[in-house]
A and B are shown apart, each in its own frame.
Chain A
Amino acid sequence: MSTASPTTGTQKRSFTTAAAVYVNERTSVAGFIKELGRKAFPDHWSFLLGEVALFSFVVILISGTFLTFFFQASMAEVHYDGSYVPLKGVEMSVAMASTLDISFDIRGGLFVRQMHHWAALLFVAAIGLHMLRIYFTGAFRKPREFNWVIGFTLFILAMAEGFTGYSLPDDLLSGNGLRIIDGLIKGIPLVGTWISFLLFGGEFPGTQIVGRLYSLHIMLLPALVIAFIALHLVFVVVHKHTQYAGPGKTQQNAVGPPVLPVYAAKAGGFFFIIFGVIALIASLFTINPIWNYGPYDPSPVSAGTQPDWYIGFADGALRLIPPGWEFVWLDRTWSFNILVPLIAIGIFIVLVLLYPFIEAWITGDKREHHIADRPRNAPTRTAIGAAGVTFYAGLWAAASSDILATHFSLTMEGVIHALQAVVILGPFVAFFIAKRVCIALQKKDREIVLHGFESGRIVRLPGGEFIEVHEQLDEYDRWRLVSFETYEPLMIRPNARGKITVGQRFRASLSRWFFEDRIAPVTKGEIESGHGGHH
Chain B
Amino acid sequence: MAASSIPLPASEPLGASPWIPVPFRVEERASETADTITITLTPPKGIPSRPFRPGQFNMLYAFGVGEAAISIAGDPDRPETLVHTIRSAGPVSAALSGAAPGSTVGVRGPYGTGWPLASASGKDVVLVAGGLGLPPLRPALYEMLRHRDRYGRIEVIYGARTPKDLVYYRQIQEWRGRSDLRFQTTVDAAGREWYGDVGLVTARVPDLRIDPSHTVAFLCGPEIMMKFTAQALAAKGVPDGSIYVSLERNMKCGVGLCGHCQLGPDFVCRDGPVFRYQDVRRFLSVREL
A and B interact physically = no
A residues neighboring B (CB under 8 Å): none
